[in-house]
Every structure is written in C-alpha cells, then in structure tokens.
Structure 1
Amino acid sequence: MKKVSEIMTKNVQFCTPHESLVTAAKIMRDVDCGSVPVCDSNRVIGMITDRDIVIKCIATGNNVNEVHCHDVMTHDVVTCSPDTDVHECARLMAQHQIRRIPVVNEKGELMGICAIGDLAQENIYINEAGEALSDISEPDNYRH
C-alpha cells in the first residue's frame, strides 16, 4: 500500500500567524494554490484559504495589509501523518471537503502537503481522487 509520504509535496511554503494576509496571498499566487498552512515554529496551527481572505477580510471592508493570518485562519486543521495510506487520505479529503491536507509528524510539525492533484496523479487511485473531488465540489447551501 502506498503511503502519503511517497506522493506528498515536500518543501511546503507556509505563513506565520502574525504575517499579513498579503503574505499568505502572495504564497498562494506563487505556488498556484488556494490554501496555505499557518505554522508557529514549523508546527501547523491553522490553514488559511483564499476564501478566508475574501469572506473574512475583504468582504467586511478590512485592510488586507492590517489583518493577520491568525485573524482569519481555520484553527481545526485536518492533518495526516507521512505513514497514512493514500486511500485514507482520499477519504479524509472527501469527508472534510478539503483539497489539501498538511502532513505532520508526531509533534505536529509540517512535513509536507498532500493535495487532491497528488492523488489524481496516481493512476491506481484515480477513482478515489475523483470521488473525493466530487464530494468536495458539492455545492453548499447558501443564499444568493
């Protein structure tokens, strides 16, 4: 069975809790993704998404240069270990409707990221990645 450590992206860029949202947005732009881990001494303490920046800062009229990552990040982060089976990782993504899972060691330190695209590149797991993406992409109930 293939482990997350075999397909994850290592050398992950992250932001710190006290950096501005502009820093997080620049990382997202440079890495071409929509979410970035927030780490304190390399320990994952949150995740920040492009949606967090828009909904919790811009849409409320706040200045992105003055709002910090800790102000809008998600605190309850779904993580997995490098030894997690890729099938379990796909299940976690579908269950929690997320596209990227920080991979952490037993101390909670960031070791890498496993993205839905990493799963999709593994032909043997393409069906699970597709199912996870399908579940992730289910529309939420919201008002227009």
Structure 2
Amino acid sequence: MSQLREIMTQNVASVSPQDNVYKAASLMKQHNIGSVPVVENGRVRGMVTDRDLVLRALAEQKNEQVTVGEVMTNQVVTGTPEMSVDEASSLMAQNQIRRLPVVENNQLVGMVSLGDMAVRQPHVNEAGQALSNISEPSSPQM
C-alpha cells in the first residue's frame, strides 16, 4: 500500500496570513492551481482558494489591502507522509476537498491532490471514488 510520501508534491507554493490577496491569486495563476496553503513559521494556518478570493474579497469589493488571513479558510484537514493513499482518499472524500496538505512535526512537507492520485495507475480507483464523493451534483432549484 502506497504512502502519501511517495506521491506528494514536495515544493509547495504558499502564502502567509499577512500577504495580500493578489499574491495568492498570482501564485495560483503562475502554478495553475486553485488553492494555496497559508503557512506561518512552517505551520499550516489555513487554505485560500480561488473561490475564497472571489467570494470574500472580489465580490465584497474589497481593495488590495485585504490580507490572505482575512479571506482564508481556517479549518484545514491535513494528512501525514505515512498515511496510505487509500486513507487520504477517504479523508478527502469525507471532507469534500481536492487537495490535502501533508504535515510532519507540525510543518508543511508536501501537498497531495486528486490529480496526484489519478496519474499513478494503482490509485486511479481511490481518486475516482474521492472525486465522485466530492463532485456529487446538487439538485437544481426550481
């Protein structure tokens, strides 16, 4: 059974709670990603997503003085390098998240996405299961 250590991305782009929202948006564009961990002294303090930027900064017509700390999601689900891919997939599905920060000794050491699981043949089923749970369609409102 594979561990997250084997498939995680180790060089993770991150922002601090004091950075402005434009830095987060710029990193997302540069790395073609939809979320960035918010890290302070190596510890994960939150996650900021493209959705957070749109709903909590742009739609509120806030200016460039808005910090990442003001718009980030504080409750962060994390994994460990020793966690199995299957456990991580279940955790991601249960919490409806597509990216999982990997933490060791309270320090961010990597990031795993559904894409990381999907491109590695033995884990296609785990990624598919997680995605189907995350992407359950909502009922259209009449």
Asked whether the equivalents of residues 85 and 126 of structure 2 are also in contact (C-alpha less than 8 Å), the reply is no
Within 2, Cα distance between the matches of 1:105 and 1:89? 15
TM-score by length of 2: 0.95
Gap runs ≥5 in structure 2 = none
TM-score by length of 1: 0.93
Q: Does 1:40 align with 2:40?
A: yes
* Count of residues paired in the alignment: 142
Within 2, Cα distance between the matches of 1:142 and 1:93? 25
Gap runs ≥5 in structure 1 = none
Amino acid in the other structure paired with 2:70 = D
Match of 1:57, SS state, is: helix
1:114 to 112, 115, 121: 112
Instruction: Quote the residue 1:10 is aligned against.
Output: 10
| Poorly superposed stretches of 4+, deviation over 3 Å | 139-144
CA drift at 1:141: 6.6
The farther-off stretch of 131-140 and 88-97 is: 131-140
CA drift at 1:139: 3.7
How large is the RMSD of aligned CA atoms in angstroms? 1.6
Within 1, Cα distance between the matches of 2:88 and 2:3? 9
Within 2, Cα distance between the matches of 1:67 and 1:27? 16
Instruction: Quote the residue 2:122 is aligned against.
Output: 124
Match of 1:135, SS state, is: helix
Within 1, Cα distance between the matches of 2:138 and 2:70? 24
